[in-house]
Chain A
């Protein structure tokens, strides 16, 4: 009991002297397929067009979230690694706490996990290898996982699998994303899977699960489907 009081005393002391007012930014990611929101928390998503595509899994990492004013870097989130999963709504909402008065007009993040982190052994939290986003037969994070079925795919059960990753040259897939923003408190970031899948011929390309040229090309494509204004 005495120990607990010591601790509480310490914490309140710390809070009163060191803590300062903060700026809060709520970054809400919204996976969409064209105009339709892609939700996977209660089942698969059937694309509302004639593509014959159904989406079952959509998860990706973002890291190094930063804000800028007039191209000048103002703030980078410390320990910035987030696993976003369309099946877990809470994972799509990032609450960023930065110094009070930070006023910005642009945000950036990396799609994926950087190479240093990829060679740093077992890590915890969103980076824990048990989260299903780590390759087993070869070390490295899967930066982007999109799975489902497509009428066009001549595979077993018409399945497609895009496990995009790879951290070392010449097959590094970490992709920077830069977005203009005009709101300081709430920013919606849309991720349009229609733009991603539209550019892929699922008849011939439906199973990318290793680092290489194809993964690099698809990572670049994935970097272009984020936007803030519909």
Chain B
């Protein structure tokens, strides 16, 4: 028995030594938030894996002609969405059919994409990598390119103990980086957490109660989304004919339902809606008061018109701006990993 224990300790020591240099990271759930949906036991976070995922997120090696990276469409300073155009732009100037959503707090999301086509964060990158109007590549050709890179050889060794590149490792590492993108330090959060010296102004306070009355059933605190799907009364754009969730479920009740987006950092995530049709938050608010299109699947909350005075609109807007989290938008841990791409000898 004693021999067995000694041998077991030896084995554990050997295993620990071969993973030396990597540190596990605990995922922090902000106070008062629900439990995450993402199952961290299947993909335990570590510093080296997060760094590898961050490198992949910023590296155009993922696209067919090495021109487009995830960050081409998901830019940190604009809450990980793109800004200049309504529909996303991919390789060779091709234009997609949807607006990139602001990307944060992904550990709490069960389904991804505007229509919920993707059922798990890990498999989300497969869509842009393969989409001909986005990165136009495929997972096995990305693996082939990474296997020949000395930079990634090092990153894979420190993350996994050896340099073998597999689809599973690559996808789980990108997930680990994306899971770190937690925004929970806006003025709104500081007020909720009773940070000394921080309080809503009168205008913001009034906006908050209007928000709770008219918007919170779908944009529910603290994530500012229920993460489910709804028809919020947008007219169909007949050049796109995008009917949302029905494409996945084939069920009539899901026609024109889209994923409810978070409103955190909404000040920076313009243009708005799945097709980027609104440039300004004022346009969005006007949509809810006077633009709702009646349709069989329109959410019941929006069937009766929302009435807001000009002052109310100013108040509501002021509240929405309290959801801006500057620490998140400028967090150096989320930015381009210079230390990997600029310093060491590349290939």
Query: A residues touching B (Cβ–Cβ < 8 Å)?
Result: 2-3, 6-7, 9-10, 13, 118-124, 128-132, 134, 136-140, 171, 212
Contacts and interface: CB of A to CB of B under 8 A. Distances in A.
7 contacts: A13-B3, A13-B7, A121-B43, A122-B167, A122-B171, A130-B143, A138-B118
Contacts of B42: 120-121
A139 B120 contact: yes
Main secondary structure of the interface of B (DSSP, over half): helix
A163 B139 CA distance: 18
Contacts of A124: 166, 168
Interface in B158-177: 166-168, 171-172, 175
Given A124-B166, A212-B250, A9 B126 contact: no
A130 to B, nearest CB: 3
Interface stretch (B127-135, B252-260, B268-276): B127-135
A138 B127 CA distance: 8
B10 A10 contact: yes
Nearest to A6: B10
B11 interface: yes
A54 to B, nearest CB: 24
Nearest to B142: A130
Nearest to B251: A170
Interface in B47-69: none
A171 to B, nearest CB: 7
Closest 8 CB pairs of A and B: A6-B10, A130-B167, A121-B122, A136-B130, A122-B122, A122-B171, A139-B119, A124-B168
Contacts of A118: 119
A137 B175 CA distance: 17
- Of the listed residues B3, B118, B168, the one surrounded by the most CB atoms of chain A closer than 10 A to its CB is B168
B341 to A, nearest CB: 24
A138 B139 contact: no
Nearest to A167: B119
A132 B139 CA distance: 9
Given A6-B7, A118-B119, A121-B175, 5 more contacts: A6-B13, A13-B3, A121-B122, A122-B120, A130-B167
B213 to A, nearest CB: 36
B140 interface: yes
Contact of A139 (B4, B11, B39, B123): B123
Contact of B14 (A7, A131, A138): A7
Contacts of A2: 10
Contact of A13 (B4, B43, B120): B4
B68 to A, nearest CB: 16
A132 B119 contact: no
B8 interface: yes
A186 B256 CA distance: 54
B248 interface: yes
B117 to A, nearest CB: 4
Given A3-B10, A212-B250, A128 B118 contact: no
